[in-house]
Structure 1
Amino acid sequence: MLAKNEKTERHVLSVLVDNEPGVLGRVVGLFSGRGYNIESLTVSETEHNKHVSRITIVTSGTPSIIDQIEAQLGRLVPIHKVVDLTNSGPMVERELALVKVAGKGEARAKALQVSKDWSARVADETSESYVFELTGESSKIDQFIVLLLPLGLIEVSRTGIAAISRGAEGM
């Protein structure tokens, strides 16, 4: 039950881990076992010679829930560091989407014009479809998708966000 003054907030967590089998499963298991939701999840090796990966997790919760998540993640082995990018200062976050639109004639021309207006790249083209590539904030991608819905939107594939703090300091 939420305290009266606690509101649910969206947070972006960055987690440095050893790149080894089972680590992602343990992280996801922590969330599912405690009933926490993962809204977005991206993982990639960031330091190949050190075998270190970065997991970026978007989740929501009250401040006390977010604190619990951070503390519980920090106790998992082999996690090196957990940073709440939302609370640590300004950050840059981006997402990549591939958006497939099918159509002919005027709808096809309008879809291409929308892609140009939104600086989306044509990643693939056939005589009856386009696949557009768009990178930006999640809200920008959401708006782009809404515009393409009436123009023959078929399918969307999104990466989830990648995020990093601004400034000269690393994690």
Structure 2
Amino acid sequence: MSNSILAQLQQYHTITVLVENHPGVLARVASLFARRGFNIESLAVSVTDRPEISRMTIVVEGDHRVLEQITKQLNKLVEVIKVVEYTETAAVERELALIKVNAEPKDRGEIMQIVEIFRGRIIDMSEKTFIVEVTGSTEKLDKIVQLLNTYGIREMVRTGIIAMARGAKTAARSGRDSID
């Protein structure tokens, strides 16, 4: 198979994993990826509306075979309630970034315009910096980072992708977790 065809097959996949909210579950999931040689590109974990269940949103790169293998391995873990991958499902994906950018007085107006265009917010300001909050697609965040980088980014943190199926479908209200 040529490199160009192989590159087309490799893509990022977003997976939601509902797990029992117990100590050590995140470590077991992460070690499953490490043992299989899969790199986690992005990971976001939090408790759901049900305190006994946590939701992991994992982004991994690979072809369909890699995605299938990851899904099968995750489903073998006792603490895993449900695995949902968003390849065939319409989903909303978002990421949050906090960006501390140099903000000299002469640049503040331009920086504020960039932040406004990207529907971000300046949530803190000091004599020499702004902290910008922006939410959106990974591409949107990459672009604002690129633009703010011309002023000098001092520090940045990104949440990684979180995702939810569009419409009435829910990950947390079906499968094993629907037992009360």
User: In structure 2, what residue type is equivalent to 1:103?
Assistant: A
The answer to whether the aligner puts 1:121 opposite 2:100 as a matched pair is no
Indicate the SS of the match to 1:27.
helix
Please list every run of 5 or more consecutive structure 2 residues that lacks an aligned counterpart in the other structure. Answer: 172-180
Residue by residue over 1:71-93, the C-alpha shift from the partner in whole angstroms, topping out at 9 and shown as x without a partner, is 00000111011111123x11000
User: In structure 2, what residue type is equivalent to 1:45?
Assistant: V
Once superposed, what is the RMSD of the aligned Cα atoms?
A: 1.9
User: In structure 2, what residue type is equivalent to 1:70?
Assistant: T
Deviation (angstroms), 1:28: 0.3
Aligned to 1:77: 78
Deviation (angstroms), 1:4: 9.4
Runs of 4+ in 1 over 4 A off after TM superposition: 1-6
Aligned to 2:50: 48
Q: For residues 20-169 of structure 1, what are the structure 2 equivalents within 5 Å?
A: 20-49=22-51, 51-87=52-88, 89-169=89-169
Q: CA separation in 2, counterparts of 1:2 and 1:64?
A: 17
User: In structure 1, what residue type is equivalent to 2:154?
Assistant: I
Whether the 8 Å CA contact 1:121–1:132 is kept in 2: the answer is yes
CA 1:4–1:101 in 2, change beyond 3 Å: closer, same or farther?
A: closer
Determine which structure has the larger strand proportion and give its number: 1
User: In structure 2, what residue type is equivalent to 1:20?
Assistant: H
CA 1:167–1:2 in 2, change beyond 3 Å: closer, same or farther?
A: farther
Deviation (angstroms), 1:105: 2.7
Count matched residues. Answer: 169
Deviation (angstroms), 1:119: 1.3
Deviation (angstroms), 1:106: 2.2
Indicate the SS of the match to 1:44.
strand
The answer to whether the aligner puts 1:18 opposite 2:23 as a matched pair is no
TM-score (norm 2): 0.88
Q: CA separation in 2, counterparts of 1:64 and 1:104?
A: 50
User: In structure 2, what residue type is equivalent to 1:48?
Assistant: R
Indicate the SS of the match to 1:48.
coil
User: In structure 1, what residue type is equivalent to 2:68?
Assistant: D
Of the structure 1 ranges 67-76 and 95-104, higher mean CA displacement relative to structure 2 is found in: 95-104
Indicate the SS of the match to 1:69.
helix
